[in-house]
């Protein structure tokens, strides 16, 4: 049996609101364009957008993440991050630093799909790899983000990334077709629907 997909964003599922100021949902596809200028931060800079709140995704029965990208993305190296903890807040209201599990990728020139296996993600803290990290808690993925980073002044300038959808790839022995399997039971008890937005992961400095 071939592996099946459980869509997290895009595809048959609506794009949901992410962090950042409210925006009018006029774009038809989740496009991200911005300028990366690490020189303003001493060579260490990034532009990113992340989900809000606690996703509470149980991905323990999946092999990894598949990303579908549209054509005409720029040739920078991008990073997909997942977190199994939500960091606290600093006095200025910004997130404290925390461990992220990251996968670096380049968008295919003419668009296409990228499969990211869980064992290929690496744990990092402030952009540097963590030695002997605790295993990623696949049964409690709380946050997902996309990032364009400087890699300590190795890349900068204009960038753009076109995302069609993000999905988890189910293991062969799990043939359920219910997208709800990715959500914990507690989330099923929520009565208020999330607002629907068409724009996700818009680059912010």
| DSSP-derived secondary structure for 16-61 | B-BSSS------SS-EEEEEE-GGGGTT--EEEEEB-S---B--TT
Listed in order, strand segments (DSSP E) in the chain are 5-10, 31-36, 46-50, 62-69, 77-83, 99-106, 112-117, 122-125, 128-129, 143-149, 157-170
**Mean pLDDT for all residues in the chain:** 74
Which helix (H) or strand (E) is 156 found in, with range? Answer: none
CB neighbour list of residue 108: distance below 8 Å, 6 or more residues apart:
69, 114
In the predicted model, is pLDDT for residue 163 greater than 80?
A: yes
Please report where in the chains the tokens 């190296």 appear, as a residue. Answer: 77
CB 62 within 8 A of CB 168: yes
The partner residues of 79 in beta bridges, in order of sequence, read 104, 147
pLDDT band at 76 (very low <50, low <70, confident <90, very high): confident
71 — phi, psi (to 5°)?
Answer: -80, 165
Residues in the chain: 205
In the predicted model, is pLDDT for residue 192 greater than 50?
A: no
Domains recognised in the chain with CATH numbers: 5-186 (2.60.120)
In the predicted model, is pLDDT for residue 204 greater than 60?
A: no
In the predicted model, is pLDDT for residue 202 greater than 80?
A: no
Note the pLDDT of residue 43: 45
pLDDT band at 170 (very low <50, low <70, confident <90, very high): very high
In the predicted model, is pLDDT for residue 21 greater than 60?
A: no
Which one has a higher pLDDT value, 115 or 89?
A: 115
179 — phi, psi (to 5°)?
Answer: -60, -25
Per-residue pLDDT, averaged over 170-197, amounts to 51
Alpha carbons 156 and 37: distance in angstroms, whole number: 6
User: How many CB atoms within 10 Å of residue 7?
Assistant: 16
Q: Is 56 left (phi over 0), alpha (psi -120 to 50) or beta?
A: left
Query: Which of 98-107, 135-144, 150-159 shows the lowest per-residue confidence on average (mean pLDDT)?
Result: 150-159
Note the pLDDT of residue 198: 31
In the predicted model, is pLDDT for residue 17 greater than 60?
A: no
Alpha carbons 64 and 81: distance in angstroms, whole number: 12
pLDDT band at 183 (very low <50, low <70, confident <90, very high): low
């Amino acid at each position: 049996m071939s592996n099946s997909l459980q869509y997290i964003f895009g595809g048959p599922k609506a794009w949901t609101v992410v962090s950042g100021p409210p925006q009018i949902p006029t774009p038809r596809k989740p496009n991200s364009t911005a300028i990366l200028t690490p020189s303003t931060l001493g060579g260490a800079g990034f532009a990113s957008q992340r989900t809000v709140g606690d996703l509470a995704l149980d991905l323990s029965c999946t092999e990894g993440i598949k990303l579908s990208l549209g054509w005409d993305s720029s040739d920078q190296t991008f990073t997909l991050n997942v977190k199994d903890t939500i960091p606290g807040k600093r006095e200025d209201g910004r997130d404290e630093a925390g461990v992220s599990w990251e996968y670096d990728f380049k968008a295919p020139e003419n668009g296409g799909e990228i499969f990211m296996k869980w064992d290929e993600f690496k744990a990092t803290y402030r952009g540097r790899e963590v030695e002997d990290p605790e295993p990623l808690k696949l049964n409690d993925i709380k946050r997902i983000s996309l990032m364009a980073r400087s890699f300590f002044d190795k890349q900068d300038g204009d960038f753009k990334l076109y995302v069609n959808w993000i999905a988890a790839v189910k293991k062969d022995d799990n043939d359920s077709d219910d997208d709800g399997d990715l959500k914990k039971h507690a989330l099923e008890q929520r009565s208020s629907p999330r607002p629907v937005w068409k724009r996700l992961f818009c680059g912010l400095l």
